[in-house]
Chains A and B, each alone.
Chain A
Amino acid sequence: MKAFAELFRALDETTRTKEKVAALTRYFRTAQPRDASWALFFLTGEKLSRAVSSSLLKEWVSERTTLPLWMVEECYDSVGDLAETLALLLPEESAGREESLAELVEGTLLPLQKASEVQKKETLYEIWDTAPLSERFLIHKLLTGGLRVGVSKALVTRALAQLAGVEEAEMAHRLTGTWEPSEEGYRSLLQKEYHSTGPGNPYPFFLASPLDESEASTLFSPLDEWCFEWKWDGIRAQLLHRNKECLVWSRGEEAVTESFPEVQEALSALPNGTVLDGELVAWKGDAPLPFGELQRRLNRKKVGKKLLTEVPVRFIAYDLLQVEGNDIREDPLASRRKRLTELLGENSGSSTVLTLSMPLAATSFEELRQQRASAREQGTEGLMVKRWSSPYRVGRKRGDWWKWKVDPLTLDAVLTYAQKGHGRRADLFSDYTFALWSTPSEHDDKRELVTIAKAYSGLTDNEMREVDHFVRKHTVERFGPVRRVEPHLVFELGFDDIRRSRRHKAGLALRFPRMLRWRRDKKTEEADSLLTAEELLHAVHGVPDEPS
């Protein structure tokens, strides 16, 4: 535990990539494999299932420190991180715990999940009496799910690649998919020759880079060197049919097979030894459904008949990574596509669950631009552009794969509520709620501000600090960590889509809202109204559908 706490401190103390990688390498070189495998588990963002609720933790800390519960909350509000707040509040202890990270996790934290409340409390009191501040903080982090240390998976990959003496891409591949922390698992990760993690894991995804509008015309010439396809608004996924098993993996590297039984079934019709790359899209009739519908299929143990008919799903395949058991990622896209077309043509029968993404036919750049302009009508986000000669690479590498999205939709909205952020923004009010003016009725010309969206990205650090200052000065009301502020600031919000929603007070929901700019030139009264939003909805989705 001491060594892991030391690693955490080293990572936390520096902002330099090189020093972070050095600290990681130093740790992994000397750590016992069983500890190292747990360290890797947490550093790559994995977490234990939650054993103790936040409210119990707060209650017990309140009891242990004899501070009133409201004071614990007050401190949490100021610190912004529960694990840290509680660690700071508990009395100082310097003895230190002798156990290793693996002993802590396997011997203390994992058993907590099945323990009674009394046992949980006993264990925590024992931890609090022996762990110094830095270890206490880490243990709270591991318990409350998640260790965000400002170290990306890429850095961990680099450190381990250096240690094993292999390419980073190779290590990235080894680290993809599920993996149970174990001594053997960790040892095999570091071997020069790797015996594949097993057939159940996907290949690392190749990610497209966003395209700058101005570059498009020069980059995509000659036109016939590029493959243009719609960019569907769904979940990026790989379908694996290996060892007679059919699995669906999302880009977040989660197995989501249970959520998509019809996809699994269609996949089983393909020959063993096949891996497809593509997009899961909710699809009804001849058009895609909003992304929100697709989300209803996720995080369920079992997808019922009702949901299956309400939200049917398609897998739109655009790449073939393995065929007849052979890894063909190094082949050019053109050849992979040819084999993909053959494969689906021969095997999908009458099922439409697995469909082929069709490249767009365009003879000129202008024609292409026009097609792209209709992206939203097609229910897509824009275009995906891939070089026909490119191999299937690992991670986000600029050059061969581009996403060329259509311009975002925008609305000018008023800042109404603010809340502190997390991590780097833990002491800034950086998460905001925005509102638009209601549409006055015939009987009453009073307008009120109606919440339309929440957003927390898009401002520069300086602007954020300025808004933070504003929030502190202009708080009207507090609701726990949330502050209602005087409605003075107007921001231009960009978003990818606007849809009707029964769950939102405004009756509308924005997808991926973010702040494009601070409209210092606009007064609150000049912010947009719900009527404007309604018009946007019609412009985007055509004929107004009846409010449901």
Chain B
Amino acid sequence: MKRPLLELTDAGLYCEQGDFFIDPWKPRGTAVITHAHADHSRYGAEQYLAHHHSLPFMRHRLGKSAPLSGVEYGETVERNGVTVSLHPAGHILGSAQVRVEYRGEIWVVSGDYKVLPDASCAPFEPVRCHHFITEATFALPIYRWQPDEVIFQEIRAWWEKNRAEGKTSLLYAYALGKAQRILQAFAETAPGPIGVHGAVLPYLSGYRAAGIALPEVLSANAKHAPILRGEGLIIAPPSAASSPWTRKFAPHSQAFASGWMRVRGKRRRRTLDRGFVLSDHADWPGLLEAISATGAEMVSATHGATRALVRYLNETGIPAKPLETPFTGEDGTSDQEEGRS
């Protein structure tokens, strides 16, 4: 029997013919990286290949001397007869699907992706393939997103209301990707000053360099607190919620921007004032649309609610199976899930 082109090993997805890994979680030879989030781009590879927009973020994480090389979307790299190329995944700036071709057989690893447009990165591009390995973070039909304009309008209204009441608006969002996606919405007009938590700061220049317009921001520290307090919007990572840092900006209203906010129980459990449903992952219709656009004969699902997606695909005539990776949260309800992705 022929060996599959990509196989799951204890270090991650591996292509034996081309001798490289995709998003390996153990230190191994050559790593093709879908995007710069911590659980996909880990320390220790001898050689990294990623989209060139991911490099500044990876350098921040892996160190200045990390052996990184960047490619453009669609550019091909040959390894022992295997053709590798990256294609936009629409997840965050630089995020890519990995296309692997050998003797006419094509596999695509989606990495994290979303299909709805996001002004802070290149839009998702369906790639025809035989075998599609898809993420499934929000693979339940209860998850359906609204267009960005609608959510940004909600955020703006919330900020204006807080400002009228003399409260600072603290908005929790993942430091790489979500934060910049929200920031760019306020590049032209903003109801007040904008601050960012120290964890968000290092990821701004990469976006600016890629031509994404971001507003001027202040570092949200004690020095700038008098300017931001009662007036400003501050973007901080979720881990900053309920830390002493927030006290500098009291009185405040706190909100979280995440796909999980679609469900009331998860919203209420965080005891925040507001939840904005804004995700960098595909929603249910997005997943189905992306999967069918690949025309794949076999689908593997990883990362989240794989069980439901696999069963649904099989019942609708698309052969599918779960792929167990360490990204996989049992049913995707763990809080850190999106943080790790």
B263 to A: closest C-beta gap in Å? 6
Chain A residue numbers with a CB within 8 Å of B331 are 77-78, 472
Residue contact B311 to A67, C-beta cutoff 8 Å: no
Interface flags, B75-92, vs A, CB<8A=1, else 0? 000000000000000000
Residue contact A71 to B141, C-beta cutoff 8 Å: yes
- Judge whether B315 is part of the interface by a CB distance below 8 angstroms: yes
A80 to B: closest C-beta gap in Å? 6
- Which A53-90 residues have a C-beta within 8 angstroms of B? 65, 67-68, 70-71, 74-75, 77-81, 84-85, 88-89
Residue contact B263 to A79, C-beta cutoff 8 Å: yes
Partner of B268, one of A12, A68, A75: A12
Chain A residue numbers with a CB within 8 Å of B183 are none
Residue contact B312 to A68, C-beta cutoff 8 Å: yes
**How far is B312's CA from A85's CA once the two chains are assembled, in angstroms?**
18
- Judge whether B265 is part of the interface by a CB distance below 8 angstroms: yes
Interface flags, A221-245, vs B, CB<8A=1, else 0? 0000000000000000000000000
Partner of A472, one of B262, B274, B305, B330: B330
- Judge whether A354 is part of the interface by a CB distance below 8 angstroms: no
- Judge whether B323 is part of the interface by a CB distance below 8 angstroms: no
- Judge whether A178 is part of the interface by a CB distance below 8 angstroms: no
Residue contact A78 to B333, C-beta cutoff 8 Å: yes
A422 to B: closest C-beta gap in Å? 9
Chain A residue numbers with a CB within 8 Å of B144 are 88, 92
Residue contact B334 to A79, C-beta cutoff 8 Å: no
How many residues on the B side are at the interface (Cβ–Cβ under 8 A)?
Answer: 25
Interface flags, A1-40, vs B, CB<8A=1, else 0? 0000000000011110000000000000000000000000
**How far is B312's CA from A150's CA once the two chains are assembled, in angstroms?**
36
Residue contact A67 to B141, C-beta cutoff 8 Å: yes
Interface flags, B298-341, vs A, CB<8A=1, else 0? 00000001011001100100000000000000111110000000
- Which A448-506 residues have a C-beta within 8 angstroms of B? 469, 472-473, 475
**How far is B142's CA from A81's CA once the two chains are assembled, in angstroms?**
12
Considering only CB atoms, which chain A residue lies closest to B332 in the complex? A78
Chain A residue numbers with a CB within 8 Å of B142 are 75, 78-79, 85, 88-89
- Judge whether B3 is part of the interface by a CB distance below 8 angstroms: no
Chain A residue numbers with a CB within 8 Å of B140 are 71, 74-75, 78
A interface majority secondary structure: helix
Considering only CB atoms, which chain B residue lies closest to A19 in the complex? B273
Partner of B262, one of A67, A80, A88, A92: A88
Residue contact B274 to A427, C-beta cutoff 8 Å: no
**How far is B179's CA from A314's CA once the two chains are assembled, in angstroms?**
66
Given contacts A68-B315, A71-B312, A473-B330, contact A79 B271 (CB under 8 A): no
Q: How many A-B residue pairs have CB under 8 A?
A: 73
Considering only CB atoms, which chain B residue lies closest to A428 in the complex? B269
Chain A residue numbers with a CB within 8 Å of B333 are 78, 427
- Judge whether B264 is part of the interface by a CB distance below 8 angstroms: yes
- Which B269-289 residues have a C-beta within 8 angstroms of A? 269, 271, 273-274
Residue contact A424 to B268, C-beta cutoff 8 Å: yes
- Judge whether A110 is part of the interface by a CB distance below 8 angstroms: no
Chain A residue numbers with a CB within 8 Å of B262 are 88
Given contacts A84-B263, A472-B331, A473-B330, contact A74 B308 (CB under 8 A): yes
Given contacts A424-B269, A428-B269, A473-B330, contact A12 B264 (CB under 8 A): yes
Residue contact A79 to B265, C-beta cutoff 8 Å: yes
- Judge whether A426 is part of the interface by a CB distance below 8 angstroms: yes
Residue contact A15 to B271, C-beta cutoff 8 Å: yes
- Judge whether B26 is part of the interface by a CB distance below 8 angstroms: no
Chain A residue numbers with a CB within 8 Å of B269 are 424-428
Q: What bracket does the count of chain A residues touching chain B fall in? A: 20 to 34
- Judge whether B224 is part of the interface by a CB distance below 8 angstroms: no
- Judge whether B208 is part of the interface by a CB distance below 8 angstroms: no
- Judge whether B266 is part of the interface by a CB distance below 8 angstroms: yes
Given contacts A424-B269, A427-B333, A428-B269, contact A89 B141 (CB under 8 A): yes
Residue contact B266 to A427, C-beta cutoff 8 Å: yes
**How far is B151's CA from A279's CA once the two chains are assembled, in angstroms?**
55
A132 to B: closest C-beta gap in Å? 12
A483 to B: closest C-beta gap in Å? 10
Chain A residue numbers with a CB within 8 Å of B307 are 74
The CB with the most chain B CB atoms within 10 A, among A14, A67, A70, A74, is that of A74
- Which B134-178 residues have a C-beta within 8 angstroms of A? 140-142, 144
Chain B residue numbers with a CB within 8 Å of A475 are 330
Considering only CB atoms, which chain B residue lies closest to A471 in the complex? B330
Chain B residue numbers with a CB within 8 Å of A80 are 265
B6 to A: closest C-beta gap in Å? 27
Chain A residue numbers with a CB within 8 Å of B271 are 15
Partner of B264, one of A65, A75, A81: A81
**How far is B141's CA from A75's CA once the two chains are assembled, in angstroms?**
8
Partner of A71, one of B266, B274, B308: B308
Partner of A84, one of B264, B273, B311, B312: B264
Considering only CB atoms, which chain A residue lies closest to B265 in the complex? A426
Chain B residue numbers with a CB within 8 Å of A68 are 312, 315
Partner of B141, one of A65, A81, A423: A65
Interface flags, B14-26, vs A, CB<8A=1, else 0? 0000000000000
The CB with the most chain B CB atoms within 10 A, among A71, A428, A473, is that of A71
Chain B residue numbers with a CB within 8 Å of A150 are 268
**How far is B253's CA from A475's CA once the two chains are assembled, in angstroms?**
38
**How far is B333's CA from A425's CA once the two chains are assembled, in angstroms?**
13
**How far is B266's CA from A94's CA once the two chains are assembled, in angstroms?**
24
Partner of A88, one of B263, B312, B334: B263
Considering only CB atoms, which chain B residue lies closest to A469 in the complex? B334
Chain B residue numbers with a CB within 8 Å of A84 are 263-265
**How far is B142's CA from A85's CA once the two chains are assembled, in angstroms?**
7
Considering only CB atoms, which chain B residue lies closest to A420 in the complex? B265
**How far is B42's CA from A488's CA once the two chains are assembled, in angstroms?**
33
**How far is B262's CA from A79's CA once the two chains are assembled, in angstroms?**
10
The CB with the most chain A CB atoms within 10 A, among B269, B271, B332, is that of B269
A248 to B: closest C-beta gap in Å? 38
Considering only CB atoms, which chain A residue lies closest to B142 in the complex? A88
- Which B220-268 residues have a C-beta within 8 angstroms of A? 262-266, 268
B239 to A: closest C-beta gap in Å? 15
Residue contact A13 to B274, C-beta cutoff 8 Å: yes
Considering only CB atoms, which chain B residue lies closest to A81 in the complex? B265
B309 to A: closest C-beta gap in Å? 10
B161 to A: closest C-beta gap in Å? 11
Residue contact B265 to A424, C-beta cutoff 8 Å: yes
B305 to A: closest C-beta gap in Å? 7
Extra contacts, 5 of them, besides A78-B333, A79-B265, A475-B330 (Cβ < 8 A), are A13-B273, A68-B312, A79-B263, A426-B269, A428-B269
- Interface CB pairs A-B, < 8 A, 28: A13-B273, A14-B273, A65-B141, A68-B315, A71-B308, A71-B312, A74-B308, A75-B140, A75-B141, A78-B142, A78-B263, A78-B332, A78-B333, A79-B142, A79-B263, A81-B265, A84-B263, A85-B142, A88-B262, A92-B144, A424-B268, A425-B265, A426-B264, A426-B265, A472-B330, A472-B331, A473-B330, A475-B330
Binding site for A on B (CB under 8 A): 140-142, 144, 262-266, 268-269, 271, 273-274, 305, 307-308, 311-312, 315, 330-334
Which 6 interchain pairs have the tightest Cβ spacing? A426-B265, A88-B142, A472-B330, A427-B265, A75-B142, A74-B308
